[in-house]
Amino acid sequence: MKDATSSLPDPFRRCMKHYVAELKDRDDYEARMSEGECASCRRKANKPEYRIFGQKEWRSAYKEGEIECKACADQKELDKVLERNKTGLHEQLTSRFEKEYWHIPDDLKNAGFKNFKVDGYGNVSEAKKAAMDYVKTFAALYPENRYNLTIMGPPGTGKTHLVTAIARTLKEQEFLVMLLTTGALLSKIKATYQKGASQTEEGIFNYLRKADLLVLDDLGSEARSKDEFDWSKNKLFEIINLRIGKPTIYTSNFNEQHLPTAIGERAFSRLYNNNKFIELVTDDYRKNFTIE
């Protein structure tokens, strides 16, 4: 039988001190390279061994499960590098999203589910439950169960508060979340048409595609002049379209009856895609803030 062992040069021999506890404080041993079996793929793998002077038995420098062939060791190293790159990319995207696509109004900086009260008139409690269910389904195991949500209702009924609570909770769970008004998004796109703009429209569209969740607040209320109306409607249509199959939340002051006119029939028709509508009926919460 071919001898599979060879003696190791002195630097390797001394190196063993670092991972074999027994050798830490001694130098009276010899070392050799023997042949073992890779714990991952069962192929032949190098197995360094040592023997203390005067003893008969050679011992493995690695524990049984730690022996690895070169291919598996390389693969593991590569996986580590890829994993590091992946988290690096995710961090980069998260900070980009936070800087450019995360607009929380000042009065909602602390808006969450905890401080959303349900003792008001109407269906606030039902709307809150729907919002919390949305988070649950979103974060659950199967991404294909995610859906869109459209919350409609008059001013001050808590629409932005609720969607902010959703967005914040999912963002804390490391999802890439965008939260901004439709008007702000359209302005951002328009800004790319300017000479010397730092971003391109295609760049923004790419981010819109990358978002795990897009929250578009105040659909239909984007301020615009008459001649911008068509442009806005077309852009909205493009945005809603590119988000088909990717979860998106909309809020609007318009109801199902008036939204088609505000955003265009074609865009509106696409809202029905995998969407849950909630019409929030309650008092204007802002009335609670008036000074008497």
Q: Which stretch binds Zn ion (CB under 5 A): 71-79, 174-182, 194-202, 244-252?
A: 71-79
Q: Using CB under 5 A, pick the residue from 72, 93, 108, 281 that binds Zn ion.
A: 72
Q: What are phi and psi of 224, to 5 degrees?
A: -165, 155
Name which of 160 and 169 has its Cβ closer to Mg ion: 160
Beta bridge partners of 44: 37
Q: Which does 38 bind (CB under 5 to 8 A by kind): Mg ion, Zn ion, ligand ATP, none?
A: Zn ion
> In the window 46-75, what residues touch ligand ATP (CB under 6 A)?
none
- Cβ contact 281:127 at 8 Å: no
Closer to Mg ion by Cβ: residue 13 or 159: 159
Which listed option, Zn ion, Mg ion, ligand ATP, none, makes contact with residue 33 (CB within 5 to 8 Å by class)? none
Tokens linked to 13 = 């021999």
124 is a site residue for ligand ATP (CB under 6 A): yes
Whether 59 contacts 79, CB under 8 Å: no
Q: Are strands 148-152 and 275-279 parallel, antiparallel or unpaired?
A: parallel
Instruction: Please say whether the beta carbons of 109 and 167 come within 8 A.
Output: no
Query: For Zn ion, how many residues bind (rule: CB under 5 A)?
Result: 5
- Cα-flanking dihedrals φ and ψ of residue 32, to 5°? -150, 165
Question: Between 74 and 98, whose beta carbon lies closer to Zn ion?
Answer: 74
Under the criterion CB under 6 A, does residue 161 sit at the interface with ligand ATP?
yes
Query: Within 13 Å and on the Cβ side, how many CA atoms surround 264?
Result: 17
Binding site partner of 273, from Zn ion, ligand ATP, Mg ion, none, Cβ cut-off 5-8 A by kind: none
List binders of ligand ATP among 234-273 (CB under 6 A): 253
Q: Which residue, 275, 102, 259, 72, is CA-closest to 175?
A: 102
C-alpha distances in angstroms, 81 versus 47, 57, 69, 152?
25, 39, 19, 46
Closest CA to 60 of 39, 75, 42, 74: 39
Counting contacts by CB under 6 A, is residue 117 touching ligand ATP? yes
Select from 112-120, 184-192, 239-247, 271-279 the region that touches ligand ATP (CB under 6 A). 112-120
Q: In the bound complex, what is the minimum distance in angstroms from residue 67's beta carbon to Zn ion?
A: 9
Query: Which single residue is written with the structure tokens 């204007």?
Result: 284
* One residue of 12, 147, 205, 285 binding ligand ATP per CB under 6 A: 285
User: Which spans of this chain sit near ligand ATP (rule: CB under 6 A)?
Assistant: 107-108, 111, 115-117, 120, 124, 153, 155-161, 253, 285-286
